[in-house]
Every structure is written in C-alpha cells, then in structure tokens.
Structure 1
Amino acid sequence: MNERIPALKREPEVPRRRISKLLAVLIALFAIVLVVLFFRSPLSKVADIRVTGTNHLSESEVKKALGIVPGDSFFSPGSSKLEGNVKALPPVKNVRVVKKFPGTVEVRVQEYGEVAMEIGTDGAVRVVLENGLAVPAKSGSLPDKPILTGWRPDDAARKALCQALASMPDDLLTDLSEIKPDPSASYPDRIKLFTRSRFEVITTISKLQEKIPYLSEIVENREPGRILMLEADTYLPFSAENAPSETGEADKHKENGTTQ
C-alpha cells in the first residue's frame, strides 16, 4: 500500500516591500557617510585662487575683497556672491568668478578704462578712469591721455566728461593734450580742448559724444585751427586768422608809397 509523503511547509517569505525599504535606508546612510567624508576632505576646500585682468588693483586687494582664502569651502559662498564682493572695489567695471573642481577659483577682473590724467594738489600724477576715479599712476608708466586741469574732484561734470571720453576712438583720445572747464551762462558744461595736432576746440560735455565724428574728420583732414561745436559747428584755420586783410595790405602799400 502506497503512503503519501506530506508536503514540506514553506518558510514564510519576507515581503519584497520591506526589503526595498531596508535597501533604500542602507543606500541613504551610505550616501550620507560619503557626503560627510567628502565635505571633510581636501577636495571640498579652496586650494588655489587665481586673479587676472588687474591693472591698478593688486592681486592681494582683489583676494581680500573676495572674502575667501585657501581652506574655505569650495561651494559656499556661490560665484554670484563672490562677484558682488569684488565688484564693490571702485576700479572694477566687471568681474567673473569661475570655480574649477577641484579647488581652483578664478577671478577674472575688468577694470574701468583709462581716459585722462591729472596732477593732484600734492603734485602727484594720477590716472583718471572712465568712472571719474583717480588712481595713482604707476612709476615709469604714464598713459598717453589728455590732462584734466581746473576740475574739482567732486564735480559731476567731470565724471560726465570721463564717461564721454571713454566713447572716443583711441587715436582721437591720444591726440587730446588738455581739457579744461570753460562754462558760460548759456552752456554751464562748456569745455575747451587742446590737441597735440594744434587744434583748439570749444564744445560741451553733453554734445561731445555727438560731435566726435565731426571732430575726427577735421583733425584728420584740415590744417590746425579753432573748432566751435555748439548748436552749429564752425572751423577757422589759424592761418586765416593771421592773414592780413586786403584793406590792410592796401593801406600798408599806400603808406609805403607816401614815405618814398
């Protein structure tokens, strides 16, 4: 007689959902440990700060304004915050901070352009930037720019002039030798310019940018003279001013004939 073999009892299975949760917890814990270890490692720290593009600012001044030093967190503060720190320096026109992993922070600075020079009350020569800021001139290196004379440092017209000079072509700006205020009742911002090519120019700060093409054309193609650029533009060569009139010449000849 055949006997039936009783079926073996199966061990109860652990629900798959419980395994998934356990695995997720383990992965999360492992990730947290890795993150903690990473942020404690040298890989998460600033190792090198590189500054480029400075002219009147020193590298140390930029680094001080940046607000971080090697050993600080590489990820915080962010690039925009660091850019704002450096942008607060008066000579800085634009700045870009680029972080390169691991540990390198590049600070790319663009300073305001040089537009003029001036001599301070102490006799020191200073370079004037397009935002009106005057900075000490580097020893043995003076830019070929016009000299501002007769201007007050806090004069708003002076700052407007510097901004207008920044829009001038380099060759024309280089040709300017001196710029002084020459205000009148009708034109409070009137100025007088002298060029190395021996032109004398009267215009206003507010009209200067508009008149640049006309000024360039005369300086390049005419003989030295006086240029008036206000509501209307006029040009008179110095040779015409010095030439004797026909009446004067006739009187002179008549006088000579009488004395003979």
Structure 2
Amino acid sequence: MEKKVVSLEDRIPKLQQQRKQKSNRRMILFLSVFFILIFLVIYFQSPLSKVASVQVKGNQHVNSDTIIEFSDIDEKTGMWNLSEETIKKSIKNHQEIKDVTLERKFPNSVVLNIVEYKRVAYIEKSGAFSPILENGQVLADAKETYPTDAPIMVNWQNDDQIQVMASELIKVPKSIANSISEIHHTPGKTDPWHITLYMNDGYEVSASVRSFSKKMSAYPSIVGQLEPDVKGVIHLEVGSYFEAYNQTPNTDQEEENEEQDETER
C-alpha cells in the first residue's frame, strides 16, 4: 500500500497557521490577565470596594440599627477586609444574640443573618414584665403591656430558680408552652420547687419544677380525656390525677403524693 507523501512546501502554510493560532491564544491570555489586573486595581481604588449597604435578617426583638452598630461595619469598611469571626464575636456581645453569619453580595452589599435567644417567659415585677431568655438571663428592659408570646412568671425571687425554670420551659414542646398563661412559684413545706400554672384553656396545673418538662409532655393527652365543660386542677407532682373545682379535695391522694415526694427527697 502506497503512503501519501506530503511535500515540505505543502506543510509550511499549515505550520505557519498553527504558530499564528498559538501566538493569538497567548496574546489573548496576556490581554485577559492584563485587563483583569487593571479592573481589580480600579475596583479596589473605587467606592465599589467599600460596603455600601448592610442588611439584617432574622432579628425579631433586636433593632437592625443596633446590630449594625455592634458589627462595626460602616461605609469605610472594605468588602474584602471583613473578618467574619471578628464581626460575629462583636455582635454576640449583645445579650440577646445567640449566633450570626455573614454573606457578601457583589458588588458591595453585606447580609447579617441573626439568631436571637428565644424568649421563654416574662417575669412580673411591680406590674412590669421583663423577658427571660432561654439561657435564663433576665433582660432589664421591662414593658408594661401584658405580653402574649410567652408565659408570665409570678412570685419568682431567686435567680437560680428562674434559670432552672427557664431551662425546663425550653424543653417543653412549643405547642404546650404556648398554652401556658402564667407560672406562679408556690413553694410548699415538702417542695420548695412547687409551681401553679394557669392554662389558656381554663385548667390549672399543680406541678414541680424538678419534673416539669417530663410531666408536662403528657398534658395534651390528659386534657383529651377530660370533659371539656368540667374545669379544675391537674396534679402532676408525683402521680397524675384531675380534681374538678366543684368536687371535694382528695385529701388521701394529696397525703399519698406528699409521702411519695418526701421519699424521693
């Protein structure tokens, strides 16, 4: 089989074309790098490299302007000089902020995504209501209007007990927590942690802080077995039983519960 022989004269134009294409590609690459560098120099020297706007998302109780102030971000801050860890640490110095993440949006916008500590209750003092956070901290800013987004804690004086109660509340399902209107601290001789709850559905609950989250998880099923028109006290201290408002108190049951409670102690 004969091989086709290509003469040198025929190959020269192809070689020249390949060299030209290679040279063009190199030139395009150099020009691209050059213009990118020029663009970057112009960008970093222009106002576009500075933060033009800061948007705050996820906050419910803390004012956006307050969060931006804590972040130390202003119009002089460079977009690419932002330290997320430093900003996160600064914003979390606010007692109501649990966590924060930062997003950069081209060309010069910043988004701060905020997670606040949940307000699990309000403590009532002299007709004013101070929020209690999920970490047990009581905020100083009290309001006079009756809050409806969390239970009211009445007659609580000890800070440690308030923190324990807050930690128990955060364990309770949100649907049950939302059904609680007021939590009164009503210590007894046998149980200094005794509490009385007034529910939004008209029932009263007698319980202990020490077993509150565990016992209250059964509240919906207990109520579901009761006559809707018969209101009373649901006892959850040790055993669980219902006592209607218009019936004679079950003294034997109460004494039995007190004896069991003393044994546990």
TM-score, length-scaled by structure 2: 0.68
Larger Rg: 1
Deviations 1:88-109 (A, max 9, x none): 2111222221111211110111
Opposite residue 243 of structure 2, the aligned amino acid is: L
Opposite residue 178 of structure 1, the aligned amino acid is: E
What is the number of residues matched between the two proteins? Answer: 215
Paired residue for 1:105, among 90, 94, 110? 110
Give distance in 1, aligned partners of 2:85 and 2:168: 30
Asked if 2 retains the 8 angstrom alpha-carbon contact of 1:197 and 1:224, the reply is no
**1:197 counterpart = 2:204:** no
User: Residue in 2 aligned with 1:15?
Assistant: none
Unaligned runs of 5+ in 1: 1-27, 244-260
Q: 1:220 to 1:71 in 2, by over 3 A?
A: farther
Asked if 1 retains the 8 angstrom alpha-carbon contact of 2:130 and 2:142, the reply is yes
User: Residue in 2 aligned with 1:238?
Assistant: 245
User: Residue in 2 aligned with 1:90?
Assistant: 95
CA shift, 1:50, in A, is 0.5
Give distance in 1, aligned partners of 2:114 and 2:123: 25
User: Residue in 2 aligned with 1:155?
Assistant: 159
CA shift, 1:158, in A, is 0.9
Unaligned runs of 5+ in 2: 1-32, 251-265
1:192 partner SS = strand
Deviations 1:57-91 (A, max 9, x none): 11111011111112211122322321222122111
**1:67 counterpart = 2:72:** yes
Q: 1:141 to 1:77 in 2, by over 3 A?
A: farther
1:160 partner SS = helix
2:73 partner SS = coil
2:79 partner SS = coil
**1:51 counterpart = 2:56:** yes
Q: 1:175 to 1:30 in 2, by over 3 A?
A: closer
Opposite residue 181 of structure 1, the aligned amino acid is: H
CA shift, 1:53, in A, is 1.9
CA shift, 1:49, in A, is 0.4
Give distance in 1, aligned partners of 2:88 and 2:51: 16
User: Residue in 2 aligned with 1:224?
Assistant: 231
2:234 partner SS = strand
